[in-house]
Amino acid sequence: MKEYKIAVIPGDGTGPEVVSEGIKVLNAAGKKFHIKFKYDQFDLGGDRYLKTGTILLDEEVEKLKTYKAIFLGAIGHPDVKPGILEKGILLRLRFEMDQYVNLRPIKLYEGVETPIKNKGPKEIDFVVIRENTEGLYAGAGGVLKKNTPDEVAIQESINTRKGVERCIRYAFEYAKNNGRKKVTLVGKTNVLTFAFDLWQRAFNEVATEYPGITGDYAHVDATTMWFVKNPEWFDVIVTDNMFGDIITDLGAMIQGGMGVAAGGNINPVGASMFEPIGGSAPKYTGMNVINPLAAILATQMMMDHLGEPEMADCIEKAVKATIKQMESMSAGKMGYSTTEIGDLVVKNIV
Ligand code: IPM
Ligand code: MN
């Protein structure tokens, strides 16, 4: 029997609750496809940091690099100063494992409510490919004369030809392999004339290698407008780290909320990490009310990535069937508890 070793980081807040449901579904789908999973747990997150003072050890990073797939719940703790866990765990893992693509499908499923009037599953179906190792997230810059009236804070965006080009190429390859017709570069060429000039030139060059796919461009501010007004305009979006972060929260809202939004941090030749993008949701922690579908859809992306598209499709179909039975995608209003939703998805695996 085929076996996959998966590293699991349940993390903070509702992370462990939703990860459990994801694992429940993976195991059930695995039975059908004769695939076994072995899970290795990594205790990372705010609780461990508060208890032991350790955020992430070098040897843990090295160990994590040996897996093809990592399943992450959420990182972020209300008692830890913002930035410590995010930079110390999530961003460090993305960077050190060179997960240079953050793949975020924005897909409205039948029966899920969207706040966008007169738009449905046909109109809201695209993918954002967010550069995941550079840009403003690289941590370049510094501070001078802190806490004085003369304080200076500099935060620079790093854009390398290599980093930009490999991300753009991934977007075109993704389009080609998934029957998508258009790749839109989202940037700010009218103001950020150094960084997005590099992006635009790399984009234009890569686009010539894909004659069947249309290359397009949109400014990031206009993009937020189009997401609401004409989401059907998008097919595949490629953008930098910061813009990708911002537009994918908006994307999550138009696809029905954080309860259904999943993402993958992809290193095509190394360890990739799949997560529900909603965060640790402290106010719902431990209540068995959070929506686990995003985590379950993260396992679908994981299976796709591992080269098990039939199993991925099967999980997606089970999610679609479950959605039809739910009252809402919002925590506490689903008509079922977190664990019951996991059970329903398992029942819907046929
Ligand atoms: C995300 C999150 C992270 C990010 C935070 C938690 C560091 O918002 O995955 O989108 O900004 O990338
Ligand atoms: Mn974000």
Does any ligand 1 atom lie closer than 6 A to the CB of residue 21? Answer: no
Left, alpha or beta for 231 (phi > 0: left; psi -120 to 50: alpha)? alpha
State if residue 195 touches ligand 1 by the CB under 6 angstroms criterion: no
The residue-averaged pLDDT of 261-277 equals 97
Query: For domain 114-255, which CATH number applies: 3.30.300.30, 1.10.132.20, 3.40.718.10, 3.10.20.310?
Result: 3.40.718.10
Task: Give the tens place of pLDDT for each residue, 86-97.
Answer: 999 999 999 999
pLDDT on residue 14 = 97
**Closest ligand by atom to 277 CA:** 1
pLDDT tens digit sequence for 155-170:
999 999 999 999 999 9
Sheet holding 35-41, edge to edge: 35-41, 2-11, 69-74, 272-276, 262-266, 101-107, 125-131, 236-239, 182-187, 214-219
Asked whether 277 lines ligand 1 (CB < 6 A), one says yes
In the reported structure, the alpha carbon of residue 150 is separated from the centroid of ligand 1 by a whole-number distance in angstroms of 30
Q: Check residue 148 and give its pLDDT.
A: 98
Q: Residue ranges of the domains in the chain? A: 1-103+258-350, 114-255
Q: Do domains 1-103+258-350 and 114-255 have the same CATH topology?
A: yes
| Residue 95, pLDDT score | 98
- pLDDT, tens digit (0-9, with 9 covering 90-100), for 76-89: 999 999 999 999 99
DSSP-assigned states of every residue in 184-217:
EEEE-TTT-TTHHHHHHHHHHHHHTT-TTSEEEE
Please tell me the CATH superfamily of domain 1-103+258-350, with its number.
Isopropylmalate Dehydrogenase (3.40.718.10)
Using CA atoms, how far apart are residues 202 and 200, in angstroms rounded to an integer? 6
253 CA → ligand 2 middle, Å: 12
Give the C-alpha distances (Å, rounded to integers) separating 233 from 7, 189, 216, 265: 37, 20, 11, 25
Q: Which of 72, 90, 103, 104 is nearest to 260 (CA)?
A: 104
What count of residues does the chain have?
350
Please work out whether the CB of residue 298 comes within 6 Å of at least one atom of ligand 1: no
If 0-12 CB within 10 Å is exposed, 13-18 middle and 19+ buried, where does residue 306 land?
A: middle
pLDDT tens for each residue of 102-158: 999 999 999 999 999 999 999 999 999 999 999 999 999 999 999 999 999 999 999
Share the mean pLDDT of the chain.
97
